Amino acid sequence: MTLTTSAWHSLPPPALDQQIRTRALEHQAMLTKPPGALGRLEQLAVQFATWQGCLKPKCDEVAIAIFAGDHGIANEGVSAFPQAVTVEMIRNFVNGGAAINVLAKQANANLWIVNVGTVSPLGFEGENLIDATIASGTQNFLVQPAMSESECLSALDAGRRMIQDIVPPGTALFVGGEMGIANTTSASAIASLILDVSPAQLTGAGTGLAEQGIAHKCKIIEQAIQRIKISSQKSDLNTFEILRQVGGFEIAALCGAYIAAAQAGIPSAVDGFIATVAALVAVELNPAVRDWLIFSHQSEEKGHQIVLAHLGVDPLLNLKMRLGEGSGAALAISVIRSALALHAEMATFEEAAVSNQK
């Protein structure tokens, strides 16, 4: 299936305010520092000024959404953890005990957990838990497509509805995270098909597989790709079909959220490998979304650097993380806020009576 041009996914984000961008660059040049001395912090401030259409932007309101779902490919033993962990971690998110809960609290950010489809019923509720169940997990993409066309569209739409219906007006930044046992397998398969890179170059330890486990995981992805190429009888699959064949509900929802956030004029801070693959799909479906993404960190997952390089981006941080949950992106919030504070509060050469360069 090919998404039609009338689909919401293809609608463009707002035009960037180039006049404000020019003024923000001029303001940076007047601050009491050598030109470029604050490096990426200067670029962040100019980006936010351009996005918000104001000279001195703020990042007070941040929305974090963790999309969670199960994967049929987990049946092939590609993860170090049992599938039950997906539901157990959703409970942990709801109870406030996960890393992202701590980081969201530190950042004073709103946090929601969105269940897009687990194998086992949750059996609990939570104030910040949203039920957007599509099915009881995806199918095993070794033997059949992970999602039907309608399921894949529903997963993308779950991300859109999160942005349109739940994220509060005035939100300055969206952070998307994911949870789903075996979702690094799905992400590696998506990236392999889109980038035409071998699974061996992309496939890493995920939740902590040893060398033998990584080799098995890689073999499963290779076999799945072979199945897809034979069944489709096409050498060049479109992006939606790739997502449908080997994606996950939570990856598709995250992709939809990135697109919808950009369309709403909200930039997104992209997390690690899985989130970056979701961003890759979003950019493939709607190239203008690229201008509304900040890539927060480079994870330790093997394929992340390859996907980042394809997108031509340099992430803000490298803390050797590989947790997911939106954790690396949440850590970047403080960096972003510092960049905006420096831009707004530093004195100019004239205000400080400091001599500028000749």
| Residues designated catalytic | 325
SS3 of the chain: the string is: CCCCCCCHHHCCCCCCCHHHHHHHHHHHHHECCCCCCCCHHHHHHHHHHHHHCCCCCCCCCEEEEEEEECCHHHHHCCCCCCCHHHHHHHHHHHHCCCHHHHHHHHCCCEEEEEEEECCCCCCCCCCCEEECCCCCCCCCCCCCCCCCHHHHHHHHHHHHHHHHHHCCCCCCEEEEEEECCCHHHHHHHHHHHHHCCCHHHHCCCCCCCCHHHHHHHHHHHHHHHHHHHHHHCCCCCCHHHHHHHHCCHHHHHHHHHHHHHHHCCCCEEECCHHHHHHHHHHHHHCHHHHHHEEECECCCCCCHHHHHHHHCCCCCECCCCCCCCCHHHHHHHHHHHHHHHHHHHCCEHHHHCCCCCC
Q: What radius of gyration do the chain's Cα atoms show?
A: 21
Rounded-to-integer distance, Cα 221 and Cα 223, Å? 5
